[in-house]
């Protein structure tokens, strides 16, 4: 990557007490922002205003709308077939006709990114799925997320778009709900259904919530081909709550690697290098986005 591009993406903001020199941080994600929680000014920003697909990070807004609806989390809902026009793989282990609580559907959506669970949550919203998506967009506008648009509650559609900076606002809003924080950071859970009675085991898609070296307080991953690998976290780093947003990474564990680079950077001032393949991927994606 050229020196000019590096200069463009490593923007030196006024340094918070948590921060190291932005020049010492290299990330594999195409877009990223690091913000001390509750602070408006990022300590690192990389193409953070670009509008791009966000995949299942969408489910944080889904969770926020569910919580704001006031609907009972203990109400048992009957699973309905997932009607999706995205063309993506919508396979689900959930059985239409079985029943489970709204809380557990929210848990599956946040922890393991279960797409059918989000559809069921939206289906039982007053007015149904269309009204639910309208509320998602209205909530985004109310939060000042002006580069954000939703067309479905799961994130399977590449038309669900946002920016890293907008997603910091979403992180702040969802963090206010202790149940969203709790459900998004449980490492593994068994879900119990009735009619028929059966159980399914689910694992968190973010391995850092199961890593004893990390203190993760809010988490969501996402992936579709158009969005790449995405990760949003609020984590305790050096005793400070910090929001980390990584959009469009190449490779299953690349956002996890970027999270490690950020922590290393904050602890030592240097993050270490990113793989050459990630730099090639970034250049291609930025060309497609007409950034370079």
| Beta-bridge partner residues of 126 | none
The pLDDT of residue 4 is 33
The pLDDT of residue 23 is 85
The pLDDT of residue 5 is 35
The pLDDT of residue 13 is 33
DSSP secondary-structure letter at 249?
Answer: E
Q: Which domain holds residue 252?
A: 3-288
DSSP secondary-structure letter at 182?
Answer: H
The pLDDT of residue 3 is 34
The pLDDT of residue 288 is 85
Strand ranges in 6-55 using DSSP code E only, listed in sequence order: 31-36, 44-46, 52-53
Residue numbers in the known binding site for substrate are 220
**What CA–CA distance (Å, rounded) separates 258 from 245?**
10
Number of neighbouring beta carbons within 10 Å of residue 72: 10
DSSP secondary-structure letter at 233?
Answer: E
Q: Which residues of the chain have pLDDT under 50?
A: 1-16
pLDDT tens, 244-267?
999 999 888 899 999 999 999 999
Number of neighbouring beta carbons within 10 Å of residue 19: 21
The pLDDT of residue 172 is 98
The pLDDT of residue 162 is 98
For residues 109 and 118, the answer to whether their CB atoms sit within 8 Å is yes
How many domains is the chain built from? 1
Q: Show the tokens assigned to 224.
A: 């579709």
The pLDDT of residue 18 is 59
- CATH classification of the domain holding 240: 3.40.710.10
The pLDDT of residue 292 is 58
Strand ranges in 37-148 using DSSP code E only, listed in sequence order: 44-46, 52-53, 76-78, 99-101
Q: Which residues are catalytic?
A: 56, 59, 113
The pLDDT of residue 117 is 97
The pLDDT of residue 164 is 98
Q: pTM for this one? A: 0.92
Residue numbers in the known binding site are 220
């Amino acid at each position: 990557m050229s020196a000019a591009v590096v200069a463009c993406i490593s923007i030196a903001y006024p340094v918070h007490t948590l921060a190291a020199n932005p020049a010492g941080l290299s990330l594999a994600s195409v877009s990223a922002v690091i913000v001390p929680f509750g602070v408006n000014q990022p300590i690192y920003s990389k193409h953070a205003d670009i509008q791009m697909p966000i995949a299942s990070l969408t489910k944080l807004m889904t969770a926020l709308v569910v919580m704001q609806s006031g609907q009972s989390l203990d109400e048992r809902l009957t699973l309905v077939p997932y009607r999706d026009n995205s063309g993506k793989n919508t396979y689900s282990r959930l059985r239409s006709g079985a029943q489970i609580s709204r809380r557990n559907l929210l848990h599956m959506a946040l922890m393991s990114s279960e797409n059918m669970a989000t559809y069921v949550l939206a289906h039982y919203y007053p007015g149904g799925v269309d009204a639910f998506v309208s509320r998602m967009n209205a909530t985004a506008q109310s939060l000042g997320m002006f580069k954000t648009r939703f067309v479905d509650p799961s994130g399977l559609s590449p038309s669900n778009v946002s920016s890293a900076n907008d997603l910091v606002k979403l992180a702040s809003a969802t963090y206010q709900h202790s149940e969203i924080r709790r459900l998004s950071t449980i490492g593994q859970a068994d879900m119990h259904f009735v009619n028929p009675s059966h159980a399914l085991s689910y694992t968190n898609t973010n391995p850092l919530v199961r890593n004893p070296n990390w203190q993760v307080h809010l988490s969501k991953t996402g992936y579709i081909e158009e969005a790449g690998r995405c990760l949003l976290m609020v984590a305790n780093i050096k005793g400070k709550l910090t929001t980390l947003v990584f959009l469009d990474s190449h490779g299953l564990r690349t956002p996890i690697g970027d999270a490690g680079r950020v922590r290393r950077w904050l602890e030592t001032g240097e993050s270490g290098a990113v793989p050459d393949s990630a730099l090639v991927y970034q250049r291609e994606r930025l060309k497609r986005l007409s950034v370079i």
